[in-house]
Structure 1
Amino acid sequence: MLRTTAESRPDTVVCLDGDVELTQSGLRVQASRVARALIAHGVRHGDRVAIWAPNTWEWVVTAFGIWDAGGIAVPLSTRGKGIETAELLRRMGCSVLVATEGFLGRSAVDMLADVAGPPEGSRPFAELPDLQHVVLLGDSRAGRGLVSWAGFLDSSEAVTASHAEDRARAVAPSDPFEILCTSGTTGTPKGVVLDGSQILRAYWDWAEVIRLGEGDRYPIVSPFAHGFGINAGLLVCVARGATMIPVPVFNPDAAFDLVENQRLSVLAGPPSLFARMLSRPDLPGRDLSSLRVAVVGAAAVPTDLVRSMHTEMGFEQVVNAYGLIEGSCVAMTRRDDPPEVIAATAGRPMPGVEVRIVDDAGTPVSAGDRGEILLRGYGVMRKYWNAPDLTAAAVDGDGWLHTGDVGVLDASGNLSIVDRKKEMFISNGFNAYPAEIENLLLRYEALDQVAVVAVQDERQGETAWAFAVAADDAEPDEAAVIAWAKGAMSNYKVPRRVVFLPELPTTPNGKIDKAKLREAAHANESPTG
């Protein structure tokens, strides 16, 4: 795809990041240089290369460089702290990490060293045996296994362009292309393995629905480390010739300025972003004439909001959608759908994707009845990385992915997401998993037991509340636990409240009674009984 687009539209700008413009042909050249540098650093076909950096042009060329070298990209969230990131690097066996040093005043190297130990031999961290090199963007520093971005690119001279091209041409459509990390209800990080053929097809079709193409200017607000950011952002812009504008840190209150200054035509975000824009008193005086399409997925959308986005913000098309890392793009609303369909449903399944709603016995239910969403098609993940048992539990022998989401198909085939069979919740557009948050909080030595539930939040959509039992002889306070959590985990996982109890309530069979905890959280009180 990269070679075809570089030949067919070499001068089209596909990435605009401040003063840096990347054309299709320029990206092709830069990707080859990164690939040669990776090969010089020992990256072989199928090796995992992690990227732990905000949305920038360097992220874009690094990703395509990894793919040119035949490697597998492992995006890591900049919201992650040392504990989370080290665990993912270890589980995925990454040999190279490209990281930003100094982003938001934090040191990637120091955060990893705190939990993975000092250098050992030539390796940067003693307890990450597979990680051989860390390439640092931004502020640089000396150390074993550390190399600056400039030094890394200079190493490309040791590998010939013909050798790198042979490596790139050897990549097959079915080769693993990216591993997107998710935790799920087990609290254990999992890597979702996807290949290039399925992702290019899935998001080409996604781009067809919104008619993305040359002339569109699209700010990528969702992190490239997120499945939407890398696939429905970075990849589709290059494939379709649209101009992506990477946004490393998004300020919703500056959204109007971004639209006007960059003449944006596509805007993707949670419903709360558009509601916030519509509520601003300066809306009537802003020039939003460049806007063409809005994508609002992953949450319920009020019908009046859809109408206002058309009438007050001037969007020609508002799209709702449903997808998940393990299943790629599943369903989307279409251009001619009325506001009621866009607000109440995620639209109809994409071409080549089958959706089935089943009851607890696995039997398909009638239209209008709720049940678990199963899906099958080219977009279903190949596997969880090094986790055959988890893969078999998620994808049955007939190829159906059991999503754990509860939904309804109406008589017209529109899919509504009505509940979650799993406990995952969405905070600020990010999937958050109570089991993972619980496991992280239990690293705080003053806590003996923790149970996390989700609570509706006006700004974040949903947020975590933690109910905890203190360890013997410990006297933790809520502020101290939250302060620790802010330093140890991604901010969307940090609990809004920590409520201490003498013991956690249980059901008759001895399991923690999360229903009672949810009721208490919604009532803003401690549970009793």
Structure 2
Amino acid sequence: MTQIQLPPVPDATVRHYFDTGYWTHETLCDWLFNWADRAPEAPAIYHAGTCISYRELSDRVRSLAGGLQALGISQGDVVALQLPNMPEFVISHLALCLLGAVTQTVHMPYQGAELCFLLQHSQATTFIGLSAFKDVSPAATALGLTTEIESLNQVISVGPEVEGTHALAEMQTHPPLTAWPQLNGLDPFVLLYTSGTTANPKGVPVRYCQFLNNTRASATDLWVDASDVILSVAPFTHLYGLYTLHLTLCSGAAMSLLPLFSPPDLIEAITRDRASCVFAAPAHMAACRDAHLLDDRDNLSTLRMVCLAGSAVPPALAQFVDERLDNGGVIQLWGMSEIQAGAYTRPDDPPEIRHASAGRPSPGNHLRIVLDDGSDAAPDVEGELWIQGASVFDGYLYNEEATREAFIGHDAQNRWFRTGDLATLSASGHVTLTGRVKEIINRGGIKFNSTDVEAIIDEMPTVARSALVPYPDPVLGERTCAVVVSAPGASLSLGDITQTLDACGIAKFKWPERLQIVDELPITPTQKIMRGELKRQLDQHVQGD
């Protein structure tokens, strides 16, 4: 079978991070078995009114691991996992970890050509997916790919029988595994793929030591412990959701599972499972606000923390949510597939910090803001955000060119990852995200970041969500189009937008010169706008005019 090949880590880097304690040899199943021994009857999973204890979770994991091993899955194999936030995802991920296999997460919307690309690039040996999802069968789709992808040997289905696949439910009846590989912190853990908001996804292989020790430090900083009930609105197939799952297992907390987001379903899960911590994207909470579901403070009375991440957080939204948490507060987190949690605000930071910044670096990581000429920016001056430290990945899977472009330097203390994010760093060390380098619009040689303009447009009562996208112009090089999803039943004109921007004092060169109203924007599973796809759609529309 094909086994994953990780980029090498210099010996000096290994020594540095183990000697300083930022890396250890803990594994995810070490955490599971620790809590199964210490608190066997404590709740591990709440799902649709049912509860799974840590003892039961441990037993199910060892049984499924036995079934997977019987299929030939072994240490180093890549297994693609495409499931919503449901018990089967958690159990499958842990069972793969127990065998030393590598979990490749696949977002639920991916099918057809996208799924083929991901499975072929990762050289996955096995696919685990739903028998039916909306109007497609992911398991049947993957089964059809076994004739195209040499490494893909088998498909495991979750749900009704799909001929030619193995049923996960039957595999969970296998006798529990009693012996498994002894892993260490340098072993491969998960394989994530970048969201591809501006380009094709890139594979991000991660070691146990890089992410789990970042998770443990986060649990301490965010005061997460075994008394918490943690709910991730972000899917587990995305880094943000997976981080939340690992945070739960590290702390011995319980996880409340939300398979599919809608504002009413989120509020119902919070109240039913008495969630204490919610990890969501700004768009999730904005949808709850717009549906007036945050007006009833009783819906939020169990919450001590709402973490917002996945895209830039409007300070007004953070303040709005914060003011409705009688027993807690809002924090922000900045992370990427390549680094996990790079920075976050702490629960005891003052409101003005929690509302307007993504906080200070996570332990073991360091940040800098770099200008176009390669020099460090002064405090509060915008530039590209670079990060160096213990949770940063080694390099992209089978893509040396992308790795060379992404990193500056070589040794542990001076190897910086260029994130592509635009940000400022305050004198106190708090980072504020302002946009993406590739989202800069260049109108006649005057460059500007569209984030502040979009924030104003999004606050218009006739707008549900917006994005500013450049389109080619023979004179200026680029002009700007506002692509807008209008509020239900609302009418909107370009003049309405420019009048609002004028009233807010926005410079005229930042105003959009074209308006396109659409039914929906292309978004990632964490509600981040896919700028590359949106620009492609706009270019086609402009060319058709």
TM-score interval, normalised by the smaller of the two chains:
0.7 to 0.9
Return the alpha-carbon distance in structure 1 between the equivalents of residues 529 and 314 of structure 2. Answer: 23
Asked whether the 8 Å contact 1:39–1:69 carries over to 2, the reply is yes
State the partner residue of 1:467: none
Query: Within 2, Cα distance between the matches of 1:109 and 1:502?
Result: 38
Letter in 2 for 1:406: L
Q: For the Cα contact (< 8 Å) 1:13–1:21, is it kept in 2?
A: yes
Residues 371-382 of structure 1: matches in 2 within 5 Å?
371-382=383-394
CA distance in 1, matches of 2:387, 2:74: 34
Q: TM-score, normalised by structure 1?
A: 0.76
Paired residues in the alignment total 443
- Equivalent-residue separation in structure 1 for 2:97 and 2:35 (angstroms): 16
1:254-284 Cα offsets, whole Å, 9 max, x none, are: 4333322222211222234334434555634
Partner residue, 1:438: none
Does structure 1 conserve the Cα–Cα contact (< 8 Å) formed by 2:215 and 2:250?
no
- Within the alignment, does 1:76 sit opposite 2:95 as a pair? no
User: Would you say 1:269 and 2:280 are equivalent positions?
Assistant: yes
Deviations 1:402-434 (A, max 9, x none): 111111111111111112113499999xxx9x9
Matched, 1:244 2:264: no
- For the 8 Å contact 1:300–1:343, the answer to whether it is kept is no
Q: Offset of 1:20 from its aligned partner?
A: 4.3
Counterpart CA distance in 2 for 1:86 and 1:384 is 19
Aligned partner of 1:134 in structure 2 is 155
Q: Which amino acid aligns with 2:153?
A: Q
Offset of 1:308 from its aligned partner?
3.4
CA distance in 2, matches of 1:277, 1:189: 30
Aligned 8 A contact 1:83 1:112 in 2 = no
AA at the equivalent of 2:247: V
CA distance in 1, matches of 2:237, 2:49: 23
Q: 2:127 pairs with 97, 119, 125, which one?
A: 97
Kindly tell me: are residues 13 and 453 of structure 1, through their superposed partners in 2, closer, same or farther at Cα, counting changes over 3 Å?
A: farther
Question: Is 1:311 aligned to 2:327, yes or no?
Answer: no
Looking at structure 1, the residues matched to 183 and 209 of structure 2 have their Cα atoms a distance apart, in angstroms, of: 11
- Structure 2 match to 1:324: 336
Q: How do residues 326-365 of structure 1 correspond to structure 2 at under 5 angstroms?
A: 326-365=338-377
Q: 1:11-34 CA deviation, whole Å, 9 max, x = no partner?
A: 211111235432222222222222
Q: In the alignment, which residue of structure 2 is the partner of 1:403? A: 419
Cross-structure match for 1:445: none
Unaligned runs of 5+ in 2: 1-30, 441-449, 459-466, 470-479, 488-515
Report deviation, 1:46: 0.6
Indicate whether 1:149 and 2:149 are aligned.
Answer: no
Counting only pairs closer than 5 Å after superposition, residues 178-217 of structure 1 correspond to structure 2 as: 178-182=190-194, 184=196, 187-217=199-229
Distance 1:173 1:458 in 2: 49
Alignment counterpart, residue 10 of structure 1, candidates 27, 32, 40: 40
Match of residue 67 from structure 2: 37
% identical aligned pairs = 26
Q: What amino acid is the match of 1:46?
A: G
Of 405, 415, 432 in structure 2, the residue corresponding to residue 416 of structure 1 is 432
Deviation at 1:35, TM superposition (A): 1.7
Shift of 1:287: 4.1
Question: Match of 1:53?
Answer: 83
List runs of 5+ in structure 1 lacking aligned partners: 117-124, 435-451, 460-477, 505-525
Q: Structure 2-normalised TM-score?
A: 0.73
Deviation at 1:252, TM superposition (A): 1.1
Measure, in 2, the Cα distance between the counterparts of 1:456 and 1:503.
Answer: 19
Q: Deviations over 1:209-248 (max 9, x none)?
A: 33222222222221110001112x2111111111111111
Match of 2:177 among 155, 161, 171: 161
RMSD: 3.4
Matching residue's letter, 1:148: A
Q: SS of the counterpart of 2:300?
A: coil
Range moving further from structure 2, 288-297 or 185-194: 185-194
